[in-house]
Chains A and B, each alone.
Chain A
Amino acid sequence: MEFKDYYDILGVREDAGLKDIKKAYRKLALTYHPDMNPDKGAEDKFKEVAEAYEVLKDTERRAEYDELRRHGGASNDGFEPPPGWQQSAGFNGSSRGASGQDFSDFFNSVFGGGFNQSHQSSSNDGFSFKGQDAEIEVPIFLEDTLAQHTRKIEYSIPVYEGQQIKHINKTLNVKIPMGVSDGERIRLKGQAGPGQGKGANGDIYLHIRLVPHPLFDVEGHNLILTLPVTPWEAALGAKVTVPTLTGKINLTVAPNSQAGQKLRIKGKGLKNKTVTGDLLVVLKIVMPQTNNEDTNKLWQQLADTTDFNPRTEWSS
């Protein structure tokens, strides 16, 4: 087992006062707290920092730790608590941090294990706490939001067997209701980590993520489709076939349409039980890739006969 140098972790001197320890902890916690730092590794770093703070902020625990540290804690051969080592009587026996994060084997070997206050309940029978919740991202195609469908969810949960952690694979078939939206969370009660004592199992939260669509963008309940049209279709008007999530429809582009103009098709967006969105078709005028002599002549004719300057706003 690796010895943990809590002073080093917090970046404080051995004789640092509580004020400095608190200051160092807060600074590091703000940087690495997993709720504010999504980077890989931030959570582990935060756990380490929280564990160091848990020990050094408490006079009695700090004294115990200092004693251990003085007696060869930092040996290269790895750390083992000295024979006959006893944890302090005043310690509450928590193996978890303020908000329930697990502490290291080193911490548990020195200070023992138990349960934390924030997620625990005490009763005559001892301590109970709820199993850990888990969040699983579920990618969903836009087409699949139009009706209820069943998804197979595969995941693994950690199960404690004595000091060992085993991962058990689980599979659930879940009904995903019609109209789920990006960012929404679905709770599957009691399907995550097992509780301790009389504590309930943790919950699974399915975090819905709409898969980016090759054609459609999402804006609330509306869908946005960018429709490429030729310059002459924009000028003269046209009837074009456009895709929707449920099939193709015919759309009329009015004469003299502009790039960026939006055409609204009612009821062809996303829907849930109470709202049906629209499909917004945005015109994008596309020039031909190549011109031959004949088409160039026609463009020249247009240039000679049309009094149009798209940059009039620049002239002032």
Chain B
Amino acid sequence: MTEATFQITVRELYTVEYINPEVVTSVVEFGIVQPIDGNNANDWIFDTNSVHWLKKAIRLYLDLEIDWVAVCMVIDLLRQKDQLQRENAQLTAQLQRFI
């Protein structure tokens, strides 16, 4: 049976994913993701969904050559878009049952 996990430690991000510690700190400082546990930067633990957004943020930062403020805005809008699409799908499904 394969081990399934819902979290990743910041140390894994540094040593396995080779993500620069300063980049992780920036992503957290700009509020793009928040650790679910850990009092200082070296003990942070992130949930797997946060890692998805963290990696997306880093890709945008590197590929689009934009600063963290802009990345933060893009990620915020992408999240809002995801949320609105989900809500729209839910409400459409509920409406169909009423017609």
Residues of A within 8 A of B (CB): 22, 26, 29-30, 33, 35-36, 46, 50, 97-100, 118-121, 129-130, 150, 172-177, 182-189, 191, 200, 205-206, 212, 217-219, 224, 226, 282, 284
Contact = CB atoms under 8 A, between A and B. Distances in A.
B94 A50 contact: no
Contact of A187 (B19, B48, B98): B48
A213 B51 CA distance: 29
B94 A284 contact: no
A38 to B, nearest CB: 10
B40 interface: no
A133 to B, nearest CB: 8
B36 interface: no
Given A30-B64, A118-B18, A226 B98 contact: yes
11 contacts: A35-B78, A97-B63, A98-B62, A98-B63, A118-B62, A119-B17, A175-B1, A185-B48, A187-B5, A188-B2, A188-B3
B4 A226 contact: no
A99 B5 contact: no
A183 B86 contact: yes
A130 B48 contact: no
B18 A121 contact: yes
B17 A33 contact: no
B2 A119 contact: no
B72 interface: no
Contacts of B6: 184-187
Nearest to A26: B64
B72 to A, nearest CB: 14
Contacts of A200: 16
Given A130-B16, A183-B86, A224 B5 contact: no
Given A99-B63, A226-B94, A174 B16 contact: no
B59 A35 contact: yes
Nearest to B23: A118
B2 A172 contact: yes
B4 A118 contact: no
Interface string B27-64: 00000000000000000000011011000101110111
Given A30-B64, A173-B1, A176-B4, A36 B17 contact: no
Contacts of B59: 33, 35, 99-100
B8 interface: yes
A99 B62 contact: yes
Contacts of A119: 17-18
A10 B51 CA distance: 32
Contact of A118 (B58, B60, B94): B58
A188 B4 CA distance: 5
A191 B2 contact: yes
B1 A174 contact: yes
Given A185-B49, A187-B6, A35 B97 contact: no
Nearest to A207: B52
